[in-house]
């Protein structure tokens, strides 16, 4: 077989989500990429290597000896003004946790892909969202995507927002293991000119660590300083909302993508009585189920949360308050949490506290460890949510779906 | 609604790129007909592991909504064509994420096709393929199990020959013209010619319900969260006892559900008459396959053997253990039982098996992996493809 080189200028590509992000690295002219293998994130490594071998991507590509070093290296590279990309999955991401935590306070715009994976032991590599969600409190911006094309757009978006001087925060793009990292879909590519127009070069200004700009970063601070530093990081995260809205407007215009809300996707919700809410690729069975139930005359819809940090509370408050009941699907768990609910459930419950009318809600945990969320289980979740709409409250606030008993 | 799905059943590492090339080209060719599709490998497989049975899928639809309908279930539950690029997998597919043995034709739709690259005849393949209660077709692309796509092996055009045959047995997926155009773009005109030739030559035989291997494929029920052991505990099995439950010898107790089937591509055959009872095979087998017979011989349990070839390597007696390709066997029965029952018959069979093996033991200390040394070349000659301009 002739090994063909990837011509990323082709208008249409048959690529996986990981491949899309690797190509985005080439088009964004990333300077430093670090890697350490773990499935399913390792797929991105393969494509990055291939692009480098083909001469399409020119960057420092460092295979570290562990995830901890992997994230430390790009952290430092980012401080000297390099555009960076890295990533991991599952416990690999956790092994880098110290580096993940400090990147936020240092205000370094690291962009990472998390190929979502269960936290083993027990050894498992199917999708669960707990890996990426673990950094939700620290100052990481978190984005969940649904298709290979969205993965590519989200990568450009991530650099643009993270490197904005108003923000300087790290951003992780979550791609569901298998469903996105391992399946090849048709993607309509932006041109290099479009990417260049959308994404300016990374300019760290006078925060750049360089002999010509002698600065010290990350000194020791104690109770006299730290809370002010946290408050600064918090302000940057709060500013991210507007920067994301601005960037999405530009992207829609420059890439000729369909007008879309930056934070949430609403599917057939307009006249819906009952909707389910979730993140990532489970939208596929959910959308199909919505169409099938609508054929039977049931008014149902689906809302997909795209940004988890900053959390789209204003959008969800407007979108969700109009329904008779809502069901929140978590592909994660938060054991011992209120109502024993998952992470998304708990966040949405909190976001809706001040809303009137406040829709009755129910939570579902399903699809853990990469178990398929089927049309049957989606239908079951809609049925349960209809019951909640009828009675006005959930008898059992949280159900596990698709578990062998 | 027109959605067409195919699976490619292959062996890990050696055939992953071959399968990927087949599925990608299907989707790229479908684009030429204005259709849309997706190609993906089954995630729960571990295609980076030596010889592990694995699957790749291509799904093609007339429009994106139809495609979504099918992909709402990640892995297709039924396919129009099951492509098999190693005929030893006709015995069934045993995934690395293990759940028993899946018949090779399990996903094949009624009236669909199992398309195999093989130098065997359809009657031979049907001895392995499990009985199905709906009719389907068995088509053969004459050729050995190909490594094409693995960088160290040369391109034998298996990918495009399969695509050409596919256009014949499943024209509703993609027609031959779209394949030819795509193959020309991806590769060259020579490969286009190969595809065309396979299109003309592919042979297809109807298979009736009830035809095939009548064995019930091995399966088991998985426990639920309330019944399974907590804390990730896996209890040990007991040490075991005498050979076949008797007084003499020794036979370890084995996990009831974790058995080996088509993971293995080769198995050891043992000459009980030259064995010196040195114990090395018994000690070194990584899967504790050997039962000790009352007379101190060693009989390998074929429901445990992964075909690694370690026993052949460590056995100090020349040609006492020979690794032989799986296509020569139809069951997992005990070689020692056979030998006890009928010594002359067994020795004649052993000779036959040795002759079937192409391994030059002097050259390679150990045969393991996908092929015996020299087997590919031998099979390739048999196809007649080589001399065929
Ligand atoms: S081939 Fe490997 S697994 Fe099989 S009996 Fe020999 S040593 Fe054991
Ligand atoms: S290694 Fe060979 S000689 Fe030794 S016990 Fe096994 S079969 Fe017999």
Q: Are B211 and B42 in contact (CB under 8 A)?
A: no
Residues of A in contact with B188 (CB under 8 A): 2
Residues A353-370 have a mean pLDDT of 95
**CA A258–ligand 2 middle distance (angstroms):** 70
In angstroms, the Cα distances linking B378 to B349, B382, B384 are: 21, 7, 11
- pLDDT for B367 equals 52
**How does residue A10 score in pLDDT terms, banded at 50, 70 and 90?**
confident
Residues B212-253 have pLDDT tens digits of: 999 999 888 889 999 999 998 888 888 999 999 999 999 999
- pLDDT for B305 equals 94
Report which protein residue has its CA nearest ligand 1's atom 2: B308
Q: Using the atom order of ligand 1, give the atom closest to the CA of residue B290.
A: 5
Given a cut of 60, is residue B343 above it in pLDDT? yes
**CA B10–ligand 1 middle distance (angstroms):** 22
Report which protein residue has its CA nearest ligand 2's atom 8: B275
Please state, for a pLDDT cut of 70, what percent of chain A lies above it.
99
Q: Are B87 and B145 in contact (CB under 8 A)?
A: yes
Q: Between residues A273 and B330, which one has the greater pLDDT? A: A273
Q: How far apart, in whole angstroms, are the C-alpha atoms of residue B225 and residue A67?
A: 33
Q: What is chain A's mean pLDDT, rounded?
A: 95
Q: Are A92 and A58 in contact (CB under 8 A)?
A: no
Residues of A in contact with B225 (CB under 8 A): 403-405
Residues B22-30 have a mean pLDDT of 97
Q: Are B328 and B344 in contact (CB under 8 A)?
A: no
CB contact under 8 A, A288 and B68: yes
CB contact under 8 A, A14 and B148: no
Give the closest-approach CA distance of B150 to chain A in angstroms.
8
CB contact under 8 A, B73 and A375: yes
Q: Using the atom order of ligand 1, give the atom closest to the CA of residue B300.
A: 5
Lowest-pLDDT range, B44-58, B124-138, B174-188? B44-58
Q: Using the atom order of ligand 2, give the atom closest to the CA of residue B311.
A: 1
Given a cut of 70, is residue A355 above it in pLDDT? yes
Element housing A366 (H / E): none
- pLDDT for A64 equals 97
DSSP A182-228: SEEEEEEPPPHHHHHHHSPPP--GGG--BTTB----S----TTTHHH
Q: Which of A14, A121, A287 sits opposite B24 (nearest CB)?
A: A14
Residues of chain B with CATH 3.40.920.10: 3-207
Q: How far apart are the first and last CA of chain A?
A: 48
Q: Is B280 in the pocket of ligand 2 (CB under 6 A)?
A: yes
- pLDDT for B362 equals 43
**How does residue B302 score in pLDDT terms, banded at 50, 70 and 90?**
very high
Given a cut of 70, is residue B287 above it in pLDDT? yes
Q: Which two tokens stand for residue B123?
A: 């009657």
- pLDDT for B388 equals 46
Q: Are B137 and B205 in contact (CB under 8 A)?
A: yes
Q: Cα B213 from chain centroid?
A: 16
Q: Using the atom order of ligand 2, give the atom closest to the CA of residue B314.
A: 1
Q: Between residues B328 and B81, which one has the greater pLDDT? A: B81
Q: Is B202 in the pocket of ligand 2 (CB under 6 A)?
A: no
Q: Between residues B21 and B258, which one has the greater pLDDT? A: B21
Q: Which of B38, B69, B159 sits opposite A185 (nearest CB)?
A: B38
Please state, for a pLDDT cut of 90, what percent of chain B lies above it.
67
* Global ipTM: 0.93
- pLDDT for A403 equals 97
Q: How far apart, in whole angstroms, are the C-alpha atoms of residue B9 and residue B83?
A: 6
CB contact under 8 A, A12 and B31: yes
Element housing A293 (H / E): helix A283-295
Work out whether strand B321-325 and strand B266-270 pair parallel, antiparallel, or are unpaired.
antiparallel
Q: Domains in chain A, please, with CATH?
A: 12-255 (3.40.50.970), 264-400 (3.40.50.920)
Architecture of the domain defined by B243-255+266-364: 2-Layer Sandwich (3.30)
- pLDDT for B365 equals 46
Q: Which two tokens stand for residue B169?
A: 């047995």
- pLDDT for B276 equals 98
Q: How far apart, in whole angstroms, are the C-alpha atoms of residue B119 and residue A5?
A: 34
Given a cut of 80, is residue A374 above it in pLDDT? yes
- pLDDT for B359 equals 53
Residues A21-49 have a mean pLDDT of 97
Q: At residue A58, what are phi and psi to the nearest 5 degrees? A: -120, 115
Q: How far apart, in whole angstroms, are the C-alpha atoms of residue B354 and residue B350?
A: 6
Given a cut of 50, is residue A325 above it in pLDDT? yes
Residues B77-116 have pLDDT tens digits of: 999 999 999 999 999 998 776 678 999 999 999 999 999 9
Q: Are B37 and B67 in contact (CB under 8 A)?
A: yes
Burial of A110 (0-12, 13-18, 19+ CB in 10 A): buried
- pLDDT for B373 equals 65
**CA B358–ligand 2 middle distance (angstroms):** 21
Q: Residue B113: which of B84, B86, B93 has the closest Cα?
A: B84
Element housing A330 (H / E): strand A325-330
Give the closest-approach CA distance of A218 to chain B in angstroms.
42
A374 reaches B (C-beta below 8 A): yes
Report which protein residue has its CA nearest ligand 2's atom 1: B315
* B-chain residue closest to A283, CA distance: B72
**How does residue B387 score in pLDDT terms, banded at 50, 70 and 90?**
very low
Q: How far apart, in whole angstroms, are the C-alpha atoms of residue B304 and residue B268?
A: 12
Q: What's the farthest any 2 CA atoms get from each other in chain A?
A: 69
Given a cut of 90, is residue B257 above it in pLDDT? no
> B residues 25-54 near A, CB within 8 Å?
27-28, 31, 36-41, 43-44
Q: Between residues A18 and B155, which one has the greater pLDDT? A: A18
Residues A166-210 have pLDDT tens digits of: 999 999 999 999 889 999 999 999 999 999 999 999 999 999 999
- pLDDT for B330 equals 85
Give the closest-approach CA distance of A284 to chain B in angstroms.
5
- pLDDT for A260 equals 79
Q: Give the SS3 label for residue A351.
A: helix
CB contact under 8 A, B232 and A122: yes
Q: How far apart, in whole angstroms, are the C-alpha atoms of residue A183 and residue A17?
A: 7
Residues of chain B with CATH 3.30.70: 243-255+266-364
Q: List helix spans (H) across B80-201.
A: 122-128, 158-169, 176-186, 189-201
Report which protein residue has its CA nearest ligand 1's atom 8: B285
Q: How far apart, in whole angstroms, are the C-alpha atoms of residue A110 and residue A116?
A: 18
CB neighbour list of residue B293: distance below 8 Å, 6 or more residues apart: B243, B248, B249, B299, B336
CATH superfamily of domain region B3-207: Pyruvate-ferredoxin oxidoreductase, PFOR, domain III (3.40.920.10)
Q: Between residues B219 and B363, which one has the greater pLDDT? A: B219
| Report field, pTM of the whole predicted structure over 0.95 | no
**CA A3–ligand 2 middle distance (angstroms):** 45
Q: How far apart, in whole angstroms, are the C-alpha atoms of residue A113 and residue A238?
A: 22
Q: How far apart, in whole angstroms, are the C-alpha atoms of residue B190 and residue B133?
A: 41
**CA B308–ligand 1 middle distance (angstroms):** 5
Q: Residue B207: which of B297, B125, B88 has the closest Cα?
A: B125
**CA B18–ligand 2 middle distance (angstroms):** 38
Residue to substitute from A1, A14, A177, interface B, most B β-carbons within 10 A: A1
Please state, for a pLDDT cut of 70, what percent of chain B lies above it.
93
Residues B55-72 have a mean pLDDT of 92
Given a cut of 60, is residue B385 above it in pLDDT? no
């Amino acid at each position: 077989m002739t090994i063909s080189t990837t011509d990323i200028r082709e208008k249409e590509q048959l690529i996986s989500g990981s491949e899309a992000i690797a190509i985005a690295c080439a088009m964004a002219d990333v300077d430093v990429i670090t890697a350490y293998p773990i499935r399913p994130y390792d797929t991105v490594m393969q494509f990055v290597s291939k692009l480098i071998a083909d001469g399409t991507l020119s960057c420092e590509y460092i295979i570290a000896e562990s995830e901890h070093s992997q994230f430390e290296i790009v952290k430092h590279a980012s401080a000297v003004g390099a555009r960076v990309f890295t990533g991991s999955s599952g416990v690999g991401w956790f092994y880098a946790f110290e580096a993940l935590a400090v990147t936020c306070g240092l205000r370094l715009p690291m962009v990472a892909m998390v190929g979502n994976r269960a936290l083993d032991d027990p050894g498992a590599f199917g999708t669960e969202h707990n890996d990426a969600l673990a950094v939700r409190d620290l100052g990481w911006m978190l984005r969940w995507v649904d298709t290979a094309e969205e993965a590519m757009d989200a990568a450009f978006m991530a650099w643009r927002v993270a490197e904005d001087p108003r923000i300087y925060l790290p951003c992780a793009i979550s791609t569901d293991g298998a469903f996105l990292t391992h399946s090849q879909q048709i993607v309509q590519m932006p041109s290099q000119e479009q990417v260049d127009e959308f994404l300016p070069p990374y300019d760290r200004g006078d925060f750049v660590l360089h002999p010509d700009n002698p600065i010290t970063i990350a000194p020791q601070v104690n109770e006299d300083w730290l809370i002010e530093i946290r408050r600064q990081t918090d302000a940057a995260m709060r500013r991210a909302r507007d920067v994301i809205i601005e960037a999405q407007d530009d992207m829609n215009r420059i890439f000729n993508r369909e007008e879309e809300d930056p934070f949430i996707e609403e599917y057939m919700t307009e006249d819906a009585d009952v909707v389910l809410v979730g993140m990532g690729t489970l939208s596929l069975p959910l959308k199909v189920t919505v169409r099938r139930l609508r054929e039977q005359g049931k008014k149902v819809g689906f809302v997909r949360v795209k940004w988890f940090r900053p959390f789209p509370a204003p959008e969800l408050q407007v979108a969700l308050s109009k329904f008779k009941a809502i069901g929140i699907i978590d592909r994660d768990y938060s054991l011992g949490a209120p109502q024993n609910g998952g992470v998304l459930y708990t966040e949405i419950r909190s976001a809706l506290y001040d809303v009137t009318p406040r829709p009755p809600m129910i939570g579902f945990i399903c699809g853990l460890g990469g178990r398929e969320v089927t049309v049957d289980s989606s239908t079951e979740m809609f049925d349960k949510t209809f019951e909640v709409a009828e009675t006005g409250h959930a008898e059992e606030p949280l159900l596990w779906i698709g578990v062998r008993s | 609604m027109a959605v067409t799905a195919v699976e490619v059943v292959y062996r890990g590492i050696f055939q992953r790129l071959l399968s990927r090339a087949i599925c990608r080209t299907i989707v790229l060719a479908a684009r030429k007909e204005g259709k849309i599709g997706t190609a993906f490998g089954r995630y729960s497989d571990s295609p980076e592991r030596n010889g592990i049975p694995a699957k790749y899928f291509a799904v093609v639809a007339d429009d994106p909504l139809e495609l979504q309908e099918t992909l709402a279930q990640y892995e297709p539950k039924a396919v129009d064509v099951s492509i098999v690029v190693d005929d030893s997998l006709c015995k069934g597919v045993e995934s690395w994420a293990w759940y028993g043995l899946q018949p090779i034709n399990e996903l094949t739709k009624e009236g669909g096709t199992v398309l195999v690259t093989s130098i065997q005849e359809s009657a031979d393949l049907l001895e392995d393929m499990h009985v199905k209660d709906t009719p389907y077709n068995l088509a053969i692309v004459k050729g050995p199990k190909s490594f094409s796509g693995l960088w160290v092996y040369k391109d034998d055009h298996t990918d495009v020959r399969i695509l050409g045959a596919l256009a014949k047995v499943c024209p509703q997926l993609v027609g031959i013209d779209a394949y030819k155009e795509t193959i020309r773009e991806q590769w060259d005109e020579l490969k286009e010619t190969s595809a065309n030739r396979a299109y003309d030559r592919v042979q297809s035989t109807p298979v009736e319900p009830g035809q095939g291997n009548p064995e019930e494929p091995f399966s088991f029920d998985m426990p639920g969260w309330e019944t399974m052991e907590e804390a990730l505990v896996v209890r040990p099995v007991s040490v075991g006892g005498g050979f076949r439950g008797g007084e003499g010898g020794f036979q370890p107790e084995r996990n009831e559900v974790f058995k080996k089937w088509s993971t293995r591509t080769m198995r050891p055959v043992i000459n009980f008459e030259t064995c010196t009872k040195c114990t090395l095979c018994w000690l070194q087998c990584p899967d504790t396959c050997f039962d000790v017979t009352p007379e101190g011989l060693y009989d390998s349990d074929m429901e445990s053997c992964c075909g690694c070839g370690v026993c052949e390597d460590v056995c100090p007696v020349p040609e006492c253990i020979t690794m032989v390709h799986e296509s020569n066997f139809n069951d997992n029965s005990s070689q020692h039982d056979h030998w006890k029952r009928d010594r002359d018959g067994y020795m004649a069979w052993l000779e036959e098996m040795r002759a079937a093996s192409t391994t030059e033991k002097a050259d390679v200390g150990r045969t393991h992996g996908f092929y015996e040394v020299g087997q590919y070349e031998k099979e390739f000659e048999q196809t007649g493809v080589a001399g065929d301009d």
